[in-house]
Structure 1
Amino acid sequence: MSGLSLNHLNVGYGRRPVLRDLSLPLIRPGEVTVLAGPNAAGKSTLLRAIARLAPATGEIRLDGEDLRSLSAAARAKKIGFMPQTLPSGAALSVLETVIAALRAGQAVEGGRPGQRAMEVLTRLGIEQLALSDLDQLSGGQRQMVSLAQAIVRDPRLLLLDEPTSALDLARQVRLLGELRRIAAEGRVVLAVLHDLALAARWADRIAILHQGGLYAFGPPAEVLTPVMLAEVYGVRARVETCSQGHLMVQIDSEIAAAVSSDLNAHV
C-alpha cells in the first residue's frame, strides 16, 4: 500500500501518555497533509514517533514497510525530518551542515556532495548563505537551512515541525510552494502547522488532533468548520470563501471569555 499508515499508536514520555490508540487514514504520496490542533495535542510528538525520536507502540508503515524495523541508516534514506529549530553551537557553515545531512545514512553518488548540497540551497533560494556560519543566521534563515537538510537526501517521507514559524510572508509562500512541488514529485509530506489560514490554503488534507486522539481528517473544507473550532480550539469563528475561492478562517471571540462576560453581566 503506497503511503504512510499509522495504526493504534500509543506515544508518551515515562508515565505521561500523549497519544492514545491513534490511527489515521492513509497519508498519501502526492499530497500535503497538515497536522493541526491546540497546544499539547501531540502534533510534534507524533512526528517524533514516526521518525523514531520518541518511544511508541503500534504500527508505523511506509509503503507497507515497518519503519520501526529499519536500521538508523535505512530510515535516514527514507525519512527527512525538519525540527522546529536547529541545535545551536555548531561551528559549521550552511554548506557543511547540508553536506553532513546528505552523508547521513548513505554514500553520495558520484562523490560530489558539495554539488548536490548547492543544488538544494539554490532550489530553496538560499544559495547566498552557503558559506555563512550557521550560528550567525536569523531564525527564518535557519529554518530554510533545516528544510535543505531534510530534503537533500531526496527522502520518500518528509516530516516538518512548524516549518513556517519564523518566516516572513514571502518565505512562507516560498516554503509552502516548495512543499507542494515536493509532494507532486510523488513523496509523502506531513507538516505541523499552527496557522489554520495557511493550512486551509496549502493543505490537501488536514488531521486535527485533540485530547490524545484524532478529532477529524479530510480536505480543509470538510475539517475547518465553526463546530470544530468551537469544540477543539474554544473559539467562535466563521469559515468563509474569499474572492479567489480560498477558505478563510475568521476568529470572532474566545468562548470561555464570552461566557465569563455573560455571567458577569448578570451579577
Structure 2
Amino acid sequence: MSLDRELSANPYQEVPVNPAETDSRLRTRDLRLAHGSRVVVDGLDLALPERQVTVIVGPNGCGKSTLLGGLARTLPARGGAVLLDGRELTRMPTREIARSIGMLPQSAIAPDGLTVRDLVRYGRQPHQGLLRQWSADDARAVEEALTAADLHDLADRPLETLSGGQRQRAWIAMAVAQETPILLLDEPTSALDMGHALEVLELVRSLAAQGRTPVLVLHDLTTACRYADHMIALKDGAIIAQGPPSAIVNPDLVRELYGVESAILTDPLHGTPVICPLRVTPSATQA
C-alpha cells in the first residue's frame, strides 16, 4: 500500500461525549467567547471528565487559551454559560470560584522582589478570610508544592534572579498550593527544558491520580498524546474531535488541524500515538 493511500485510510472518528452524561464538575453550555468584536468560540458545549488529564490541542489562534480563560472566568462569556457543579460562574463569588478552579496563564507577572516561597504562598489566598488566617494546613500545602516542583533549594531566591524555566516551575507550584480540584494550565512547559518539562507533566499526572482534574494546553501533539487521558482537538473555536488520544489521533486529524501529512507510530513503552511529520500538505502551502 502506498504511503498516500495509507494516510487517507483511517478518517478520524470523534468519540462521542454527551455533556449531560459525563461525570464533570466543569462544563459549558452554548458558550460564546470573544476578544473585542472578534468571536473566537461560539456555541461550544463541553464537559471536562473528572479526575482525568485533559489536554487541548490545535493550531495557533484556534481558541485554546481563550477557552481556558472562559473556563476560569478571566474572560467573561458573551453568551451561553460556564457551569461549576451546575451553577453559572457569573453568579458565583470570585473567592468561591478560586477555591475550585486554579488558573495558570501563559504570561504571569509578579511584583519585584518577591521570593519563590512568597509566590507559592499566594496560592493560599482563596482559603484566607476574616475568620481564617494562616494555618498549619496552609504551611503544609506550600511545602508540598515546593517539593512537587523541586524548588526547596530556590525557595528564598527572588523570582527575578531565576531562569525562565525556574520561574515557570515557581508559578506552577503556586497553582498546586492553591489545592483546587480543577487546575487549568496554559502551556505550562513552554519555558522548560526536556527534563523539567517531564517533571511538570509527571506532576500533572500525579495530581489526577490524587483525584484532581488538570486541564492543559500543549503544542506538541506527541507529548499531549502521552499525557492526556482525554484530548480535545480545537480548530477555529470548535471541537472537531475529542476522546482518548489513541482513538482520535491519526493522519487525517493531523492534516485537518495543522495542514501536515504525517505517519502515526505507537510508542513502544506507553502505547500512545507518536506523530511523525512528513510534509506540509499542498493545500496548506497555497492557503
Separation in 2, partners of 1:142, 1:220: 30
In structure 1, the partner of 2:103 is 81
For residue 236 of structure 1, what is the aligned residue in structure 2? 261
Q: How far does the alpha carbon of each residue in 1:151-179 deviate from its partner, in whole angstroms, 9 at most, with x for none?
A: 21210110000011111111111111111
Task: Map 1:75-224 to 2 at 5 A.
Answer: 75-87=97-109, 89-106=111-128, 107=132, 110=135, 113-224=138-249
Task: Give the 3 Å change call, closer, same or farther, for CA 41–108 of structure 1 in structure 2.
Answer: farther
SS of the equivalent of 2:103 reads strand
After superposition, the C-alpha distances for 1:91-119 in whole angstroms (9 at most, x for unaligned) are 21111111122124534563564443122
1:256 positional shift: 3.3
Q: When the two structures are superposed, what TM-score results if normalisation uses the length of structure 1?
A: 0.90
Cα separation, 1, equivalents of 2:149 and 2:168: 11
- Residues 187/63 of structure 1: CA separation in 2 closer, same or farther (3 Å cut): farther
Unaligned runs of 5+ in 2: 1-22
Which whole-Å deviations, capped at 9, do the CAs of 1:176-230 have from their partners, x for residues lacking one? 1111111122222111000101111110011011012111111101221101111
Contact 1:37 1:232 in 2 (8 A): yes
Whichever residue aligns with residue 69 of structure 1, its letter is R
1:11 alignment partner in structure 2: 33
Residue equivalent to 1:28 = 49
TM-score of the pair, normalised by structure 2: 0.84
RMSD: 1.9
Is the Cα contact below 8 Å between 1:209 and 1:215 reproduced in 2?
A: yes
Percent of aligned pairs sharing the same letter: 36
Aligned to 2:16: none
Greater displacement, 197-206 / 101-110: 101-110
Q: Distance in 2 between matches of 1:207 and 1:152?
A: 26
The yes-or-no answer on 1:251 pairing with 2:287 is no
Is the contact made by 2:246 and 2:272 (CA closer than 8 Å) also made in structure 1?
Answer: no
Matched position secondary structure for 1:163? coil
1:258–1:49 Cα change, 3 Å: closer
Q: How many residues align?
A: 259
In structure 1, list runs of 5 or more residues that go unmatched: 261-267
